[in-house]
């Protein structure tokens, strides 16, 4: 899979089957749409292209009301690598882009920029300034410019509920990691570089790996917060068990910054600078603000013991 920023003129020579959207979570509904795109592209010898936006348009227009991000850009691209997409275009969403009328969006982006021959989109798709374009106007434009349009019907789960990014966010917010896994088709994970922190965990006898959260995660409330049983990928052949805090560290910081800290069970190596993937397995509790560091240390020890018991029970 190739990833590019923006739409270079060279793409006009390569006809494509295209899909458009934010694809936050790359959940099973997204995966069904991408499978449909791949099938059509194979049948018609086209490359598959996915156009996504950074930032999310809602983050641009109404940042205070924008939904929590499920995945940062790195994790979204990693998930897309498993979906047979040939090319991902990450378009910077700004004031200039937002002003494009539906006609300009079709002509400048779909036709001139991407040489689109077929589009697969969700059944709630809108485009252009003020979301004035819809599926019907896109089909009419396709007749004019020579591309076909297929709107994929809603994908439901086993309970006949719509699979959506909103449903994934709700599951994460409620701490229902099993449901989130079902909707995503894989465990929920966050990746990032291990960075230096304040080393407070060492003084409390529970050293942690601090993961650098992207600016977009920093600017938005996380999809979930709390203390979790996790396992960490990227440091050894097998995942390493641990316990993680995702949130704002209200006892020692409470500064409004999102932090992901993971204490690994029975692992004590220096791994600064490495990229790790933290896989969330079970929520233990919500974040809490303690009166002093001794109370915090007691809580962390209880969390670590709960994580050890979780893994012990997995192998009984």
Where in the chain are the domains? Answer: 2-152, 187-314
CB contact at 8 A, 32 and 155: yes
How much is the pLDDT for 315? 61
Band the pLDDT of 298: cuts 50, 70, 90: confident
In CATH terms, the superfamily for domain 2-152 is HUPs (3.40.50.620)
Band the pLDDT of 59: cuts 50, 70, 90: confident
Angle CA(171)–CA(31)–CA(41) in degrees, nearest 5? 165
Q: Mean pLDDT over all residues of the chain?
A: 88
Strand pairing class (240-247; 226-233): antiparallel
Band the pLDDT of 171: cuts 50, 70, 90: very high
CB contact at 8 A, 157 and 181: no
Question: Per the confidence metrics, is the pTM higher than 0.95?
Answer: no
The pLDDT tens digits of the residues spanning 38-50 come to: 999 999 999 999 9
Give the whole-angstrom CA distance, residue 35 versus residue 55: 25
User: Are domains 2-152 and 187-314 of this chain identical in fold?
Assistant: no
Three-state DSSP class for 94?
coil
User: Mean pLDDT throughout 114-143?
Assistant: 94
CB contact at 8 A, 50 and 88: yes
How much is the pLDDT for 316? 46
Q: Is the pLDDT at 253 greater than 80, yes or no? A: no
Question: What residues pair up with 20 in beta bridges, in sequence order?
Answer: 51
Give CATH for domain 187-314: 2.40.30.30
């Amino acid at each position: 899979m190739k990833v590019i920023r923006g739409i270079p003129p060279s793409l006009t020579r390569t006809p494509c089957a295209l899909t458009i959207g934010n694809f936050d979570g790359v959940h099973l509904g997204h995966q069904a749409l991408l499978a449909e795109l791949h099938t059509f592209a194979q049948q018609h010898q086209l490359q598959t292209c996915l156009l996504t936006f950074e930032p999310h348009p809602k983050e641009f227009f109404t940042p205070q009301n924008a939904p929590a991000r499920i995945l940062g850009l790195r994790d979204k691209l990693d998930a897309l690598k498993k979906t047979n997409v040939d090319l991902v275009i990450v378009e910077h969403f700004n004031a200039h882009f937002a002003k494009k009328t539906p006609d300009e969006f079709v002509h400048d982006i779909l036709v001139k920029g991407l040489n689109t021959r077929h589009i697969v989109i969700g059944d709630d798709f809108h485009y252009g300034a003020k979301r004035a374009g819809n599926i019907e106007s896109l089909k009419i434009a396709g007749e004019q410019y020579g591309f076909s349009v297929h709107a994929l019907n809603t994908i439901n789960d086993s309970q006949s509920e719509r699979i959506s990014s909103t449903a994934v966010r709700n599951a994460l917010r409620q701490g229902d990691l099993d449901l989130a896994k079902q909707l995503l088709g894989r465990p929920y994970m966050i990746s990032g570089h291990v960075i230096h922190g304040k080393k407070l965990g060492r003084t409390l006898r529970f050293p942690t790996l601090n993961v650098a959260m992207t600016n977009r995660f920093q600017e938005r409330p996380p999809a979930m917060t709390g203390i979790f049983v996790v396992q960490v990928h990227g440091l050894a052949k097998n995942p390493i068990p641990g316990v993680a805090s995702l949130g704002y560290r209200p006892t020692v910081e409470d500064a409004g910054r999102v932090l992901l800290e993971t204490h690994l069970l029975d692992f004590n190596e220096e791994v600064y600078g490495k990229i790790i993937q933290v896989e969330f397995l079970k929520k233990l509790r919500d974040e809490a603000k303690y009166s002093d560091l001794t109370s915090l240390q007691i809580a962390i020890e209880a969390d670590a013991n709960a994580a050890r018991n979780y893994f012990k029970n997995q192998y009984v």
